[in-house]
Structure 1
Amino acid sequence: MSAQNSAGIQTLLDAEREASKIVQKAREYRTKRVREARDEAKKEIEAYRADKEAEYKGFEAQHTQGNKAAEEEANKEADEKISEIQDVGKKHRDEIIKNLLSAVSHAHPTPVS
């Protein structure tokens, strides 16, 4: 009986070792798949990010051009107004200086309420 028990125990130990190897292989496979899935997800995220970045750049370029045109138009109008004011100032320089000197030298203080 002892030989049969010993053989049975040995068979059980062999089965346990084999099961342990199978479990280890399954863990290694699972770890490998997790790494592959993570790498694949990183690639997909990077592709999505690049796509959205390109989309944003296009949107920004399209709308910035409109802003640049408006800015150039506003600068042009401002330059025209400045030029116009300078021309009026040159034409009426003597009168402006006379009015400024008069206002400074003949001040009429008024009480502030």
Structure 2
Amino acid sequence: MSAQNSAGIQTLLDAEREASKIVQKAREYRTKRVKEARDEAKKEIEAYRAQKDSEFKKFEAEHTQGNKRAEEEADKEAQAAIAEIKAAGKKSQDKVVKDLLSAVVDVHPTPESVA
């Protein structure tokens, strides 16, 4: 009976070792698969980030050009208005200076009226 018990114990120990090997292989496979999944997720995230960054740059470029055009148009309008004001000033500059000097230099006293 002792031999039978020893053989049974040995069979159980062999089965336990075999089960331990299977569990270890399963853990290694799981660890490997988790690493692969993590790497795949990182690649997908980077691709998505690059796509969104490209979309943002395209959007920014389109809208920045619109702002530049508006700025250029506003600048042209401002320059035209400034030129018009300068031309009007040059045109009537002599008359304005003459009227100012006349008002300061030529004094025309008037008597106060008694009420």
Partner of 1:16: 16
Partner of 1:6: 6
1:89: Cα distance to partner? Answer: 3.2
Aligned positions, number: 101
Q: CA RMSD in A?
A: 2.3
| Sequence identity percentage | 76
1:88: Cα distance to partner? Answer: 2.9
1:58: Cα distance to partner? Answer: 1.6
Q: After TM superposition, where is structure 1 displaced by more than 3 Å over at least 4 residues in a row?
A: 89-94, 96-99
Unaligned runs of 5+ in 2: 105-115
Unaligned runs of 5+ in 1: 103-113
Higher relative contact order at CA 8 Å, sep ≥6: structure 1 or structure 2? 1
Partner of 2:88: 88
TM-score of the aligned structures, taking structure 2 as reference length: 0.75
> Counterpart amino acid of 1:10?
Q
Once the two structures are superposed, residues 67-102 of structure 1 have per-residue CA deviations (whole angstroms, 9 ceiling, x without a partner) of: 211110001111111222233333444627939xx7
Partner of 1:46: 46
Larger radius of gyration: 2
